[in-house]
Amino acid sequence: MEADPALAAGLVAGKSVLITGAGGSIGSGLARAVFAGGPRTLVLLDLSEGGLYECCRAIAGLAGNSRTAVIPVVGSVVDQSLLANAMRRHGVELVVHAAAYKHVPLMERNPFVAVMNNAVGTYRLVSAALEAGVSRVTMVSTDKAVNPRSVMGAAKRIAELVVLSHSTDECRMNAVRLGNVLGSSGSVAPIFCEQLELGLPLTVSDPEATRYLLTPGEAEAAILAAAGTGVSDRILAADCGEPRRVVDLARYLARTYFGNGVEHPIEYVGLRPGDKLVEELVGEPEEAVLGEISGLRVVDGPHPSRAEMISGIGGLAAACDKYDSDELLAVIAGLVPSYRPSSVLTGESILLEAS
């Protein structure tokens, strides 16, 4: 499944759209796809000045005779006043929330910023959308939110719960779970390619480690389909096919790179803090509803009430303000009972580059 221009046009033509995380790998590709659909206004928000500049530059190259007003906003989803102002000022009708910290081991060492951005930031974005009269919010989630072993995954699970508990008839909200997007920033394929260029062994965590893989086009198509679906307050799981062994991807890239059938050395380095041996798209006690909606499975499961989520988010923000790891873990455990911390959050040095 690739991004369909007609799908984008049917969803965004003539509307005002906000994309958060627009400077990232997924956000920037999504911004180009949405721009091609002819929105009235495209508001692009990112904390990274450089990433946002490059996104806008890429869109400028596509502009032609487009009448779309492209509005870059440098800022964080943690800043609710900024979000509400941007939504009101530009009459935003549709939000695609792709802003998130996603690097698992790095966020294990920075749990407070991971939770503030991924979980508390999502709550503030949702609150701003409700205040501004936005009609649709679609949050980009990850398979790492299922039975999470990392702070990043747990924070994304909480973000899912925020979206589910705050959806209304006037502002319909969903979350879409993706697998690993090939070629995205920090993903495994570019790391393998870099190691091949340098003549280094390919570092793989475990011979049995598996991941769900998507191309950027497939990820963009899944996000657009989720944003346009008729259901609300649901998690929608992208069709990622069967999970693939990471070592098989490494061997494939090595064969493609060298083209001579020679086996490139592979070094098994063990799971990193927060890593899982296998990823899942549906967890307990969730179930995937039979049938597909534009290549998506509808995932049903219980979730806390809005009042419970507001209380939990308050607890997370308070723990982050105090940099209190014990309090933070306690609040996360209350919201996400399936979370199992991988290690002490401020544990030993970690290898960021291993896949």
Question: Which CATH number belongs to the domain containing residue 23 in this structure?
Answer: 3.40.50.720
353 domain-assigned: no
Structure tokens at 215: 């191309």
pLDDT at position 343: 65
pLDDT at position 351: 44
39 domain-assigned: yes
Least confident stretch, 162-171, 233-242, 340-349: 340-349
Cis amide leading into 285 (omega within 30):
yes
pLDDT at position 126: 98
- Distances in Å between the Cα of 213 and the Cα atoms of 179, 193, 219, 288, 335 are 5, 16, 10, 19, 28
pLDDT at position 353: 46
Give the range of the structural domain holding residue 101, as residue numbers without chain letter.
12-180+213-241+287-335
Quick one: average pLDDT of 8-22? Answer: 96
Summarised one tens digit per residue, pLDDT across range 182-192 is 988 878 999 99
Distance from C-alpha of 94 to C-alpha of 224, rounded to nearest angstrom: 11
- Distances in Å between the Cα of 330 and the Cα atoms of 157, 327, 336 are 15, 5, 10
Summarised one tens digit per residue, pLDDT across range 292-307 is 677 899 999 999 999 9
CA atoms within 13 A on the CB side of 270: 4
Task: Evaluate whether 274 touches 174 at the Cβ level (below 8 Å).
Answer: no
Task: Indicate whether 239 pLDDT > 50.
Answer: yes
Highest mean pLDDT among 185-199, 210-224, 284-298 belongs to 210-224
105 domain-assigned: yes
* Average confidence score pLDDT of the chain: 93
pLDDT at position 229: 92
Longest dimension (CA), the chain: 61
126 domain-assigned: yes
38 domain-assigned: yes
pLDDT at position 33: 96
Quick one: average pLDDT of 142-168? Answer: 97
Show the 3-state SS of the chain: CCCCHHHHHHHHCCCEEEEECCCCHHHHHHHHHHHHCCCCEEEEEECCHHHHHHHHHHHHCCCCCCCCEEEEEECCCCCHHHHHHHHHHCCCCEEEECCCCCCHHHHHCCHHHHHHHHHHHHHHHHHHHHHHCCCEEEEEEEHHHCCCCCHHHHHHHHHHHHHHHHCCCCCEEEEEEECEECCCCCCHHHHHHHHHHHCCCEEECCCCCEECEECHHHHHHHHHHHHHCCCCCEEEEECCCCCEEHHHHHHHHHHHHHCCCCCCCEEECCCCCCCCCECCCCCCCCEEEEEEECCEEEEECCCCCHHHHHHHHHHHHHHHHHCCHHHHHHHHHHHCCCCCCCCCCCCCCCCCCCC
Summarised one tens digit per residue, pLDDT across range 73-103 is 999 999 999 999 999 999 999 999 999 999 9
Task: Indicate whether 24 pLDDT > 60.
Answer: yes
4 domain-assigned: no
Band of pLDDT at residue 17, cut at 50, 70 and 90: very high
Summarised one tens digit per residue, pLDDT across range 99-145 is 999 999 999 999 999 999 999 999 999 999 999 999 999 999 999 99
Distance from C-alpha of 162 to C-alpha of 111, rounded to nearest angstrom: 19
pLDDT at position 7: 84
Residues noted as catalytic: 144
What total of structural domains would you count in the chain? 1
207 domain-assigned: no
The letter for the amino acid at 231 is V
271 domain-assigned: no
Percent of the chain with pLDDT over 70: 94
pLDDT at position 323: 96
